[in-house]
A and B are shown apart, each in its own frame.
Chain A
């Protein structure tokens, strides 16, 4: 069983479109995250949710809007896509924040904006 699953795995879309990436975890974790890995392979946190509540919102454009319908799901919606949004987006989860627990990552969603 996949612990953290995200869909779609690959997404190619045109500039200006709106797209969503879905994430689900079946680990019973309280905290979920979205990370972005850019073309230089550098991973950086975008958002963190704890029990459906936004904890971290790093400096990302407000075109990016996370939605957490329940603590097992954290979806990422992106409006008005730009070329620079092309990256790999990773969803992750952990129990009660990262302080003492392993963080589990999804397989990633490869977004290409053309």
Chain B
């Protein structure tokens, strides 16, 4: 059964720094991996989706990479801003209508 782990559980950095959030998964037979953002009291916003055949995806200051063989994905945030403060969730898809297996998230605080 797929298990997804995110490290660190919490992170606090000054504004302007580049940072990396880590995600690992136990079953490399995934269809895709998705990164979400969750703000307090809100739902989930999809940030990036990486298909199993892809190595990375970029959107603005965000870059997500995927290494299926090692069971790892990273989310790189460049030039962090206070508005980036949120919980970031990584989720792996086994395909079909199986839904997603989520990690427990990284709670990120960007200090002004």
Contact = CB atoms under 8 A, between A and B. Distances in A.
A68 interface: no
B43 A56 contact: no
Given A90-B43, A90-B44, A98-B93, A56 B99 contact: yes
B96 A55 contact: yes
A66 interface: no
Interface stretch (A12-20, A37-45, A70-78, A79-87): A37-45
Nearest to B47: A102
B100 interface: yes
B42 A107 contact: yes
A35 to B, nearest CB: 8
B98 A100 contact: no
Q: How many A residues touch the partner, as a band?
A: 20 to 34
Q: Is the interface of B mostly helix, strand, loop or mixed?
A: strand
Contact of A97 (B34, B46, B89, B95): B95
Contact of B98 (A35, A49, A98): A98
Contacts of B95: 97-99
Given A98-B93, A103-B34, A45 B46 contact: no
A102 B99 contact: no
Contacts of A90: 43-44
A74 B95 CA distance: 20
Nearest to A97: B97
Contacts of A48: 97-99
Contacts of B43: 90, 105-108
A56 B102 CA distance: 16
Contacts of B32: 98-100
Contact of A45 (B44, B49, B99, B104): B99
Contacts of A40: 104
Interface in B89-109: 89, 91, 93, 95-102, 104-105
Interface of A: 31, 33, 35, 40-45, 48-50, 55-56, 90, 92, 97-108
Interface of B: 31-32, 34, 36, 42-46, 49, 51, 87, 89, 91, 93, 95-102, 104-105
